[in-house]
Structure 1
Amino acid sequence: MTQAELDKLAAAISDSITICQKEVLTLDEAAHYTGMKKSSLYKLTSARLLPHSKPNGKYCFFNRKALEEWMMSNPVATTAELNGLAQAYCMKKKTSL
């Protein structure tokens, strides 16, 4: 690798570490952090589905922890979990007959 490539890689790593340590993120940082496009974030904020703040009514700011909670807000059960729930349901219904 050339020195320019190494410098670019070091800058990208530094930016990623900085974003992970910040509490409040800008739209660009939130897009980088979540891996989503800025247009998707704008759509979610305009629909009031994504927690954000607009202190001056213009720029969007995001709480990093609130973004993490939002990203993990709709967990999908694994097959093993579903099978366990189905077995528990069947056992409960069988004993109550």
Structure 2
Amino acid sequence: MKNTLEHIEDLLLNQKSIFNIDDLSRYTGLSKSWVYKKTASGQLPHYKPSGKILIFKKEEIDAWLLKNKISTVDDIEQEAINYTTSKSFNRGRYNG
């Protein structure tokens, strides 16, 4: 029964577009103290409509979570192929 309720709560949470700190902590798995530190230092996008309560936009949090992607080996290899292919094409085009 508890798992079912938690599952329903998670589904409802994913439908929200605005989070309070409890919602954000549950959504991301980040501790509330960590969130407070990151908001205080200006590293986490947030709003303070009353000057005290923290509010977060899900869309901005999702974008923030996806920052600083670490490229896979495949990504790097593809970039190298694209780079060398474009250089070869440009050399032939300008010198040809």
- Give the corresponding residue for 2:6: 12
Q: Distance in 1 between matches of 2:5 and 2:15?
A: 15
- Output the amino acid matched with 1:55: P
Once the two structures are TM-superposed, the CA of residue 85 in structure 1 deviates from its matched residue by 2.3
User: Any unmatched runs of 5+ in structure 2?
Assistant: 92-96
Q: Which residue of 2 aligns with 1:34?
A: 28
Q: Give the TM-score taking structure 2 as reference length.
A: 0.81
Deviation at 1:89, TM superposition (A): 4.1
Among candidates 57, 61, 69, match of residue 63 of structure 1? 57
Letter in 2 for 1:49: Q
Shift of 1:11: 1.7
Paired residue secondary structure (1:55): coil
- 2:22 partner amino acid: D
Report the counterpart of residue 53 of structure 1 in structure 2.
47
Q: CA RMSD in A?
A: 2.0
For structure 1, which runs of at least 5 residues remain unmatched after alignment? 1-5
Q: Percent identity?
A: 29
For 1:42-73, what per-residue CA distance to the aligned partner results, in whole angstroms no more than 9, with x for missing partners?
Answer: 11111111111111111111111110011012
SS class of match (2:68): coil
- Output the CA distance in 1 between the equivalents of 2:16 and 2:61: 12
How many equivalent pairs are there?
91
TM-score by length of 1: 0.80
Q: CA deviation at 1:23?
A: 0.9
